[in-house]
Chain A
Amino acid sequence: MAEIGILHYLIVAALLFVLGVIGVLTRRNVVIVLMSIELILNAVNLNLVAFSRMWGLHGQVFSIFVITDAAAEAAVGLGILIAFFRNKETVNVDEVDLMKW
């Protein structure tokens, strides 16, 4: 059985990436914005693993580093969210304007 071409995986990853960008740019809820960032990172990982099909295992190793980054980003982002919610009682991105001039 023939294997699926790399181009197909790249297109799926591009779709996931675009969905993540739409979520980041349009949603107001910080939790969902963070989840959209996870979608973007997953799209990147899918690209890396798809290219590792041609270039050897380097892409898979790098995608593990990206997963590590995603874990660190989620932990810090959610910590900031909790601190912010304690101060302002809201989770909307456009109300985060304490440093706005």
Chain B
Amino acid sequence: MQPVATTFFFYMLSSLAVLGGILVITRRNAVHSALALILTLLSVAGLYLMLYAPFVAGVQVILYAGGIMVLFLFVIMLVNLDKSQKEEQFNKIWVLGLLGALGLGALFIGAFLKSARSSDDIFHALLRRPLVTLADNSNTQEIGQMLYQNYLFAFEIASLLLLVAIIGAVVMAKKRAN
């Protein structure tokens, strides 16, 4: 299917994602942060659709926005956050952290823009690589085949990781009988 109005959708979705990110780290109430994070996750899912990745977009909506965020909201309801809302929200060295993170971001974007301009850069060749044509009606089949053929071992390890995480979470959150 031919994409329509890509420029408009790209800028709308990416500005919504960045806005949601800013709200996540500035809200005092953790529930508001969680809702802003859901906004970011859904906009990123839209960006995945624009990149011809419908399966990853679906996984993002179902697993992230539907699963992980429900877990977050459960825990927010479970722990009492009323007290922490009245406290100071940022730690003592927040200026240092902010400057460090902004420096990191300037480094990233400066490196991207520099290598996009200079043509003798390795990263420039990487950015200018021709796009492959991804089939837009068999994406899920191809990912499934790849998961069970090229990445079978990693797939099994991932299932083991999830098992360990489930057991760990239950053990951690269980009441100690003493």
Contacts and interface: CB of A to CB of B under 8 A. Distances in A.
Interface string B108-131: 110010001000000000110111
Contacts of B60: 45, 67
B56 A75 contact: no
Given A49-B51, A70-B64, A92-B84, A28 B112 contact: no
B178 interface: no
Interface residues of A, number: 75
B146 A2 contact: no
A23 B34 CA distance: 13
A29 B89 contact: yes
A73 to B, nearest CB: 8
A58 B1 CA distance: 22
A81 B166 CA distance: 15
A65 B40 CA distance: 20
B165 A14 contact: no
B172 A83 contact: yes
Mostly helix, strand, loop or mixed at chain A's interface?
Answer: helix
Residues of B in contact with A, size category: 35 or more
A9 B47 contact: yes
Interface in B81-119: 81, 83-84, 87-92, 94, 96-98, 100-102, 104-105, 108-109, 112, 116
Contact of B72 (A10, A15, A34, A89): A34
Given A1-B5, A60-B53, A35 B116 contact: no
Nearest to A54: B129
Interface of A: 1-12, 14-23, 25-29, 31-32, 34-36, 38-39, 42, 45-46, 49-50, 52-58, 60-61, 63-65, 67-76, 78-83, 85-86, 89-94
Given A14-B108, A67-B56, 11 more contacts: A1-B7, A18-B108, A19-B25, A27-B90, A31-B81, A39-B21, A54-B126, A56-B134, A65-B151, A72-B162, A82-B79
17 contacts: A2-B6, A18-B102, A19-B24, A22-B97, A26-B91, A27-B89, A28-B84, A29-B84, A31-B75, A32-B33, A45-B60, A63-B53, A65-B158, A69-B158, A76-B168, A78-B71, A78-B173
Interface of B: 2-7, 10, 14, 17-18, 21-22, 24-25, 27, 30, 33-34, 37, 40-41, 44, 47-48, 50-53, 55-56, 59-60, 63-64, 67-68, 71-72, 75-76, 78-81, 83-84, 87-92, 94, 96-98, 100-102, 104-105, 108-109, 112, 116, 126-127, 129-132, 134, 139, 142-143, 146-147, 150-151, 154, 158, 161-162, 164-166, 168-173, 175
